[in-house]
Amino acid sequence: MTKQSEIYACLYVKEFPVQALLRLRPELRNKPCVVMEGEPPLEEVCSLTRKARSLGIARGMTQVEIDTFSDITVLQRSLKEEATAKGVLLECAGCYSPRVEDCSDDSSFLCVQDIAGMTGLLGPPETLARNLLTRAGALGITAHVAVSSNFHVAVAVAKASLPQLVQIIPSGEESMALAVLPLSVLDPTEEQAEIFALWGIGTLGQLAALPEKELISRMGQAGRRLRQMARGEATHLFQPLEPAFSLQERIELDSPVEVLDALMFVANLMLEQLILRATARVLSLTSVTIILLLEDGATHTRTVRPALPTSDRQIWLKLLHLDLEAHPPRAAILAAELNAEPGSTSQVQLGLFSPQLPEPSRLDVTLARIRAIVGDENVGRAVLADTHQLDGFRMESFSISSTESSEIPYASLRPAMRRLRPAETVSVMLQSERPRVFTFRKRRYSVERAYGPWLAGGEWWAATKWRYEQWDIAARAHDGAMLCVCMIRDLQQNQWQMMGLYD
């Protein structure tokens, strides 16, 4: 057995605090933006875009200094949005390798993937690196990718942020690729950087040319370690992590939002990211929960769950809009969070001559519109309650079970009854305590067959007690029209009522 050669791909995101904020704010990506950190009036710039840097802005500037520039967008740092963006990128990296190590710091995101053995599945390293870069770009992140057989070489080349977004370092050419890079890519301490500056060492090639024994005598084993990294000879114990797959997006709004349409614009971007991440794993969204942080400190939570999983962004947006219209938040919105539950994609296979079925997603939108008119408790499917009382049922959410058969046995077919709500009062003539003639909707009917009575009663212990007898009757009018009905007689009030008509 031969030992498999090592190969690593490093994904590096520079100025991560500002990129995490702009990921869900695409309208600001081409504008000069800075991210401020700290409590006023001691706020300082902790991250900025390239356009802001071209105007002369640098890290560490205060709010007073930023105010001297015009047309600068100022954002407040959000650790929660950064944590969400970091999880998204780790999830993205995990799609290309099961072994991912997180090496991020306070101002940048950096992860390294062990892609040894992935060639047969994902193609050569260059193809994998470009696909990884494209995937990160679809998530709204600008990144650099470097591939090398040495862990530290891939990290150093990626952190150099060269004009080429993808760098492939062939095996055996590590020292040549590192020679021109600045010393800062190795993250030396302040003391080490000061010593190298006094020696006139500014690149990795100059550091690699230093004699090893003399360097150890002056800087110890830490200096030796830096020299090995500069020569591309340092080893590394890979420490992979296993991030949990979680479909979550969060954004903190720049100002309180009271208009629902403005919130839907933000929710549209968040749904786009959630669907993109779920689709990459061949999944759909089963449910979406929106959590709104309100100005009064409360939270407003709503969950939308259609009958079938779907990846249609417009359907999800419409369902959220209708639900929030029916249940609006009580105060202005400061932050929004979307949590989605993944599920299998729903596919329906039709027969060759079967008619086109209506789309389940359109049914969900129709039901949402009906709920907005009649209320949530009046939409769904009727489930019989454990009682003999008339109208003894409750409403449950409509759902489709994939395990239930769509075929109905012939033996279970029963005549349908159209319930009358409210029941209509009828006039009945009795003969031997059985209905003989009745008048319904100004027409007179003669009873041909009468089945009953079936006695029922309940709740004798409360003021709502009830007792009635039920009759199933087949009657005919004078013109020969046949009528099959269900009537009841309220035994407490001695009143006859028409409950339903049999088809």
In a domain, 183, yes or no: no
Model confidence at 409: pLDDT above 70? no
Query: What is the pLDDT at residue 230?
Result: 94
Q: So what's the pLDDT on residue 69? A: 92
Residue with tokens 């979680």: 246
pLDDT category at 407 given cuts 50, 70, 90 is very low
The answer to whether 15 and 108 have CB atoms below 8 angstroms apart is: yes
CA distances for 195 relative to 97, 209, 222, angstroms = 39, 16, 13
303 domain residue, yes or no: yes
Rounded to a whole number, what is the distance in angstroms from the first to the last CA of the chain? 78
Q: 186-190 long-range CB contacts below 8 Å, 24 or more apart? A: 186/156, 186/226, 186/229, 186/230, 188/226
Q: Cβ(89)–Cβ(11) under 8 Å?
A: yes
Distance CA 55, CA 49 (A): 10
Share of the chain above pLDDT 70, in %: 92
Of 292, 316, 343, which closes a domain? Answer: 343
Question: Which of 328, 343, 358 is the endpoint of a domain?
Answer: 343
pTM for the full predicted model: 0.71
Query: Is residue 288 located within the same domain as residue 147?
Result: no
449 neighbors 437 (Cβ within 8 angstroms): no
The per-residue pLDDT for 404 is 46
Last residue of a domain, one of 323, 343, 363: 343
| Residue-wise pLDDT tens digits, 135-192 | 999 999 999 999 999 999 999 999 998 889 999 999 889 999 999 999 999 999 999 9
Phi-psi region of 441 (alpha: psi -120 to 50; beta: other; left: phi over 0): left
Q: 226 in a domain, yes or no?
A: no
Quick check: 42 pLDDT over 50?
A: yes
Instruction: Give the residue-averaged pLDDT of 331-335.
Output: 93
Check which CATH number belongs to the domain holding 268 and give it: 3.30.1490.100
| Same-domain check for residues 446 and 325 | no
Q: Which residues pair with 456 in a beta bridge?
A: 468
Tell me what the pLDDT averaged over the chain comes to. 87
Lowest-confidence region among 71-80, 273-282, 284-293, 356-365: 356-365
Domain that holds residue 439: 415-502
CATH of the domain at 39: 3.40.1170.60
Number of domains in the chain: 3
- One domain for residues 315 and 420: no
Of residues 333, 244, 347, the one with CA closest to residue 293: 333
Eight-class DSSP state of 459: -
Model confidence pLDDT, tens digit, residues 315-328: 899 999 999 998 99
pLDDT at 309: 86
Is pLDDT above 90 for 208? yes
Question: How many other β-carbons are positioned within 10 Å of the β-carbon of residue 424?
Answer: 13
Query: Which pLDDT value is given to residue 81?
Result: 93
Residues 296 and 426 in one domain: no
Q: Does residue 177 fall inside a structural domain?
A: no
Question: 154 and 33: one domain?
Answer: yes
Do residue 155 and residue 293 come from a single domain?
no
Interval 436-463: pLDDT, tens: 999 998 899 999 999 989 888 887 787 7
Q: What is the pLDDT of residue 410?
A: 43
Whether 124 contacts 130, CB under 8 Å: no
The answer to whether residue 312 sits within a structural domain is: yes
Has residue 460 been placed in a domain? yes
State whether 58 and 141 are in the same domain. yes
Peptide bond into 453 cis (omega under 30): yes
Non-local (6+) Cβ contacts of 334 within 8 A are: 252, 253, 256, 293, 294, 295
Query: What's the burial of 502, exposed, middle or buried (CB within 10 Å: 0-12/13-18/19+)?
Result: middle
* Within a domain: 213: no
In contact, 158 and 12? CB cutoff 8 Å = yes
Q: Do 43 and 141 belong together in one domain?
A: yes
- If asked whether residues 298 and 426 sit together in one domain, one would say no
Please write the tens of the pLDDT for every residue from 303-313: 998 878 888 89
Residue 237 buriedness (CB in 10 A; 0-12 / 13-18 / 19+): exposed
> Do 13 and 135 fall within a single domain?
yes
Residues 161, 12, single domain; the answer is yes
Residues ≥6 apart with Cβ < 8 Å to 250: 80, 81, 84, 335, 336, 337, 338
Number of other CB atoms surrounding residue 131 within 10 Å: 15
149 with 25, same domain?
yes
d(CA 223, CA 188): 10
Q: Residue holding tokens 């992590």?
A: 241
Residue 84 near residue 249 (C-beta atoms within 8 A) = yes
pLDDT at 393 (0 to 100)? 77
- 67 part of a folded domain: yes
